[in-house]
Amino acid sequence: MPEDLVIEHLHVRRRTALHFRGAQAASPAGSVSPSILSDVSLSVAPGEFVALVGGSGSGKTMTAMSILQLLPPQAAVDSGTIRLGGLDLTRATEAELNKVRGGRIGMLYQQPKRMFNPRKTIGAHLQESLKLHRGLRGRAAAVHVLDLLAEVGFENPAWCAQARAHQLSGGMAQRAMTALALAGQPDMLLADEPTSALDKVLERQILQLLDRERHERGLGILYITHNIATVSAFADRVVVMEAGQVRESGPAAAVLNAPQATYTKQLLEAAALSRGKDLPPIQQARNVLALDGVTKQFGPHKRRSRPVLKEVSFTLRQGEILGILGQSGSGKSTLARAIVGLEVPDGGTITRTLAAEPGKHAAAGTKVQLVFQEPHDSFDPRMKLLTSLEAPLRQRPDLTAEERRQRILEVMNDVELDSGMLDRYPGQCSGGQLQRATIARALLLEPEVLICDEATSALDALTQRKVLDLLLRLHRDRRLSLIMISHDLDVIRYMSHRVAVLFQGALVEVAETRDFFFCQQHEHSRKLVSAVLPFRGQAPQDGPRRPAAGLPGREAPREQQVTDQLVQ
């Protein structure tokens, strides 16, 4: 029988330097280790969906890592208890914890690609979990791998089972991680931002899948998120964290509709993202970018290649913001990489029309810059920010060292970052700070077109709003042309003059933003808009919700030869 997870008065502190050296001497008189978590108490009952909500750095992930006893070396539980049924996890042996991790407690991590062994296939990861926690081997395990991948929304489970993490998009990797977390049939699931990289259709499917699991077999869920709107339709209770402390806790309906804490009110306000007024229209502007019939395929041979882009054509005008909307795996990131030259199209043309302004010193290749989805992956962790930002400017022999530094200070001011951060390493910055630094680096070479590939999907609602407003200001002041690639309809509505929809690599609809959200022309566009989860007023009252309808069905049995390939 599933059992309760209970955290009582948990305190987690940073270890002192003496702890790291293994010294037994006491800390200097009057010194206290900095607190990471302070007096955190919460519980998750079998079949209950508890949302743990807070901004970046609030302590949400540290709470989950404390439950699994996977805290980083610089942190340690100072006091309090964490119980799963009759087992105190803070005092459990390593052998007991290994049975719990992946068995009684499943874990969905925020950055799934980092959690997979790059040398193993996704199928091998799943088979390992099935062997350790459910005793399945050989053909039985191989068949169950395909069922798990189909259950989390893969249209081609056999391909995914044989793929490695680097071959998956961010959304695909998160779905594969969901399958891995459920493989051991856990009693409790810790989900750390599992849908932040997913489009609304897949987000809804994953949440409905988890909702079904908890109702059918009593799976307790602690769902960690920075976006309170994501879980408002599913959560039984909401726990709000800030600065390592619980600020508010209660039934979802009460917290969402009548919040007591100031911080909760700020989160709710930021989650209700709306532009308020339309962006000024573009008046007879020239085209700065034109795509005509762009195609791209991935694969070693023609017969085994997979089409990613199919005859994509559109134009971007000077000063325009074009929102590109699509599901995970629709080709959005490949399109962005092709525009900046990181991918070579197999067919079609990409034309960049550059301004012939006197005094401008920039190569054609620098006029279009890309802001990547994962800011921590965009910087060398061994380099300080100053070194990373200076690298592109070293390609300009006309600039002295002092001129390079002045240029860096100017863009740091443009993105509202303190110049003191230049001496920090990427690991010493928050997600919001590092995303601003990524934008600063893109601006250094004075681009005309800035492409933001899911640039705010990993940020909490408050930080996301600040970054979006920053981009709007830079667009206005510099007359930048922007391409906003996102699966978040609220971001697209907030930022864009026009909306383009990608579906399975093809551009199926282009429309003015107001027209698009009023009446979609393509069936897939209607599906994307209708998949947005209800927010506020739709939260459940006390007690578990009924299972959600509309879950994706399982696919037909796989071909025998595919199963044979997966049997170890």
Q: Tens of pLDDT along 218-242? A: 899 999 988 777 778 889 999 999 9
Q: Based on the domain organization, do 236 and 316 belong to the same domain?
A: no
pLDDT greater than 70 at residue 360:
no
Integer Cα distance of 401 and 407 in angstroms: 10
Q: Tens digits of per-residue pLDDT, 462-508?
A: 777 888 888 888 888 888 899 999 888 888 888 899 999 999 899 99
Residue 278 neighbours by CB distance under 10 Å: 10
Calculate what percentage of the chain has a pLDDT beyond 90. Answer: 29
CA-wise closest residue to 241 among 458, 7, 15: 7
Q: Is residue 401 part of a domain?
A: no
In this structure, are 209 and 331 located in the same domain? no
CB 524 within 8 A of CB 503: yes
pLDDT at 334 over 50: yes
Q: Residue 228 corresponds to which amino acid? A: I
**CA-CA-CA-CA dihedral for 56, 60, 64, 65, to nearest 10:** 50
So what's the pLDDT on residue 358? Answer: 42
* pLDDT value of position 123: 93
pLDDT at 538: 41
Residues, the chain: 568
44 and 193 inside one domain: yes
SS3 467: helix
Is 256's pLDDT higher than 80?
Answer: yes
pLDDT number for residue 257 = 87
The tokens for 68 are 């699994």
- The mean of the pLDDT values for the chain is 81
Are 67 and 147 within one domain?
Answer: yes
Residues 365 and 449: their CA atoms lie apart, in Å, by 11
Tell me which of 177-186, 339-348, 420-429, 532-541 is least confident: 532-541
Residues 260 and 316 in one domain: no
Which carries the bigger pLDDT value, residue 52 or residue 274? 52
> Residue 200 pLDDT more than 80?
no
The rounded distance, in Å, linking the Cα atoms of 197 and 530 is: 19
With 0-12 / 13-18 / 19 or more C-beta atoms within 10 angstroms meaning exposed / middle / buried, residue 188 is buried
Integer Cα distance of 211 and 540 in angstroms: 13
Instruction: Say yes or no: 176 and 291 in one domain.
Output: no
Question: Residue 1: pLDDT band by 50, 70, 90 thresholds?
Answer: low
Asked if residue 52 is part of any domain, the answer here is yes
Strand 481-486 and strand 321-326: the pairing is parallel
Task: Give the Cα-Cα-Cα angle 20, 21, 24 (nearest 5 degrees).
Answer: 100
Backbone angles phi, psi at 217, to 5 degrees: -135, 20
Instruction: Answer with the residue of higher pLDDT: 556 or 378.
Output: 378
Strand partners, 453: 485
| pLDDT at residue 158 is higher than 50 | yes
> Which of 51-55, 361-365, 439-443, 452-456 comes out lowest in average pLDDT?
361-365
Supply the CATH number for residue 511's domain. Answer: 3.40.50.300
Query: Strands 498-503 and 347-352: what pairing?
Result: unpaired
Q: Containing domain of residue 140, as a range? A: 5-21+33-271
User: Which amino acid would we find at residue 37?
Assistant: L
Predicted local distance difference test score (pLDDT) of residue 550? 36
Q: Within a domain: residue 172?
A: yes
**222 plus 298 within the same structural domain:** no
Name which of 434, 411, 414 is nearest 424 in CA terms. 434
Phi-psi category of residue 316: left, alpha or beta, with phi > 0 → left and psi -120 to 50 → alpha: beta
Question: What per-residue confidence (pLDDT) applies to 43?
Answer: 93
Give 302-317 pLDDT, tens digit per residue: 556 678 899 999 999 9
Check residue 303 and give its pLDDT: 59
Secondary structure class of 265 (helix, strand, coil):
helix
What is the rounded CA–CA span in Å between residue 34 and residue 11? 11
Together in a domain, 188 and 214: yes
* Contact criterion met (CB below 8 Å) for 454 and 486: yes
Lowest mean pLDDT among 189-193, 372-376, 394-398, 558-562: 558-562
The reply to whether 353 and 208 lie within a common domain is no
pLDDT of residue 324: 94
Considering the domain architecture, whether residues 85 and 232 belong to the same structural domain is answered as yes
Residue 418, pLDDT score: 86
Residue 546 has pLDDT above 50, yes or no: no
SS3 for 188? strand
**Same domain for 220 and 295?**
no
Counted domains in the chain: 2
Measured distance CA(213)–CA(220) in Å, rounded: 9
Question: What pLDDT is attached to residue 83?
Answer: 93
- pTM of this prediction exceeds 0.85: no
